[in-house]
Chain A
Amino acid sequence: MPLITNGHPRSRRGSYPARYSAAGLVRRGLLHQDWPPAWQSHPVKASYDVVIIGGGVHGLAAAYYLAANHGITDVAVLDKGYVGAGGSGRNTAILRSNYLTPEGVRFYDRSVKLYERLAADLDYNVMFSQRGHLTLAHNDSSLRTMRWRAEVNKAEGVDSEVIGPAEIKRLAPFLDVTDEARYPILGALYHPPGGIIRHDAVVWGYARGAAARGVHIHQHTEVTGIDVTGGTDPRVRAVRTTQGDIATRTVLNATAGWSTLIADMAGVRLPITTYPLQAAVTEPVKPFLATVIVSGSLHVYISQTDRGELVFGASVDPFTSYSMRGSFEFIEGLAGHVLELMPALSKVRLLRQWSGLCDMTPDFSPIMGTTPVAGFLVDVGWGTYGFKAGPVSGEAMAKTIASGQPPEIIAAFALDRFTAGTLVGEKGAAAVGH
């Protein structure tokens, strides 16, 4: 059987302690055997080579690729809650790479490529469903932006095209594509490789893969301070946590929502403001929605999970906050917008709504790489697009830690771009309604 190594010589599939397989599933089912824990807990050591703050998809992917691609296994991943408790478990699990700038398209395309092989790489079913992604255009200006995006995408080798109402009707028969609608559908950007994934499985798969290679995952371990020495030539020395102090020379800030609070501890200022973003899910209904539907004008994106629930997302709340409480204004506005697109859903009940924190940057692109404090690296500013970038960010940050130099694929996202004036404007493609 050929090894699927994702191009990385060290990510051997056979190196896990317990392989998941169909035969194992049948055997354990018949014998009523319990599954062993997917990863072990360890006491917090007094020192680690690398400390990663944030046990979400970014932090765990970085830990996994450090161990799998670079052989660096003396790594601790710290999370003040449980793994995947933040943005990794609160996003709407949509993956795509049809961005606006060449830098963005190349970067997110690498992520989709990694996601395509992730289940085999991690020996973990992440349920990636490449069902196609439709961004609807309700006016001439969004149609122009989509044409622009499609041409950039195609130049970078990404499958992406502007399609007309007839083709939209074929892909999503229940959408009203006549010009009678309140927001008529003039066209759409169609991105066949886009789709949805089980976001918790991605987090657990990376955690299991990293832990199997020797990484320590410390949940419920909150960082309370970062020790920096050196005056004019500052360098990281230690991380203080609620489970004791850890001596280390390399810290990766892979948090979302709290990234500026962690960076402040190291004396690094980030051009980030934190906004909540709310989402909601309905009761399960029979499968009828085969693609992901996004409408910028209506500030909504809709997909149907494998269980039949409809997942709705929106734009960020209109003011900065660290609060993760849902609001009635949001749910009222969301319902109105969804019913504009799909009036047939008027009798479907919402199951729940929730909120996650989005670290917005001035140009809607992330901030990755080194900082003025030696040994303090950042993988932050993930706004409303962090989940889809998890694998490529982990891979690139692992390479940055191993070589001390950010690789080409993230060079455009460096912190110093805000001083140099080389912003990577992704506002037109990063999210809806900004």
Chain B
Amino acid sequence: MILLPCPWCGPRDASEFGHVGEPAPRPDPRTATPGQWRAYLYLRPNTRGWVTETWYHRMGCRRFIKVERHTDANETRQLPSGRPV
């Protein structure tokens, strides 16, 4: 069981959340090359280790939160800046 540190609800079971994943900054569609656009749409770091990612607390406060998670051990820790995205 994975506990996610929700800044409003405290530590809650991961099954209450929807996984959004690592943030992908959107390039300007007017100037982006097909390669840049492809990177935005499809390429993710797929890191094995600590990542900063977004989760949606769909069965709780229904807010988006940012969490650090180790993708191999599934250990989580709260970001110092705490609150939301």
Which residue of chain A lies nearest to B49 when distances are taken between CB atoms in the complex?
A322
Does A327 count as interface, using CB distance less than 8 angstroms?
A: yes
- A321 pairs with B46, CB closer than 8 A: no
Q: Which of A303-334 contact B (CB under 8 A)?
A: 318-323, 325, 327-329
- A323 pairs with B35, CB closer than 8 A: no
Does B34 count as interface, using CB distance less than 8 angstroms?
A: yes
Which residue of chain A lies nearest to B34 when distances are taken between CB atoms in the complex?
A419
- A272 pairs with B46, CB closer than 8 A: yes
Contacts of A328 in B (CB 8 A): 1
Main secondary structure of the interface of A (DSSP, over half): loop
Which residue of chain B lies nearest to A325 when distances are taken between CB atoms in the complex?
B74
- B48 pairs with A419, CB closer than 8 A: no
Does B61 count as interface, using CB distance less than 8 angstroms?
A: no
Which residue of chain B lies nearest to A363 when distances are taken between CB atoms in the complex?
B42
Which residue of chain B lies nearest to A328 when distances are taken between CB atoms in the complex?
B1
A-B contact pairs, 8 of them (CB 8 A): A273-B44, A318-B18, A319-B19, A322-B48, A327-B1, A362-B41, A362-B42, A418-B38
Which residue of chain B lies nearest to A317 when distances are taken between CB atoms in the complex?
B19
Q: A261-B48, A329-B15 are in contact. Are A321 and B42 (CB under 8 A)?
A: no
CB-contact partner of B71 in A270, A320, A325, A418, under 8 A: A320
- A274 pairs with B73, CB closer than 8 A: no
Complex Cα gap A271–B24 (Å):
13
B residues bordering A, Cβ < 8 Å? 1, 14-15, 18-19, 21, 34-35, 38-39, 41-44, 46, 48, 71-74
Counting chain A CB atoms within 10 Å of each CB, the highest count among B14, B42, B46 belongs to: B46
Contacts of B46 in A (CB 8 A): 260-261, 270, 272-274, 320
Which residue of chain B lies nearest to A319 when distances are taken between CB atoms in the complex?
B19
Contacts of B15 in A (CB 8 A): 318, 329
Complex Cα gap A242–B41 (Å):
35
Number of A-B residue pairs having CB atoms within 8 Å of each other in the complex: 51
How many residues from A make CB contacts under 8 Å with B?
Answer: 22
Contacts of B35 in A (CB 8 A): 419
- B1 pairs with A323, CB closer than 8 A: no
Interface string of A159-184 (1 = CB under 8 A from B): 00000000000000000000000000
CB-contact partner of A323 in B41, B43, B44, B74, under 8 A: B74
- B71 pairs with A321, CB closer than 8 A: yes
B11 shortest CB reach to chain A, Å: 16
Which residue of chain B lies nearest to A260 when distances are taken between CB atoms in the complex?
B46
Does A80 count as interface, using CB distance less than 8 angstroms?
A: no
Q: Which of A55-89 contact B (CB under 8 A)?
A: none
Complex Cα gap A323–B1 (Å):
12
Does A269 count as interface, using CB distance less than 8 angstroms?
A: yes
- B1 pairs with A320, CB closer than 8 A: no
Q: A319-B19, A323-B72, A325-B74 given. 12 additional CB < 8 A pairs?
A: A260-B46, A269-B43, A271-B38, A271-B42, A273-B44, A274-B46, A319-B14, A321-B72, A322-B71, A328-B1, A362-B42, A419-B35
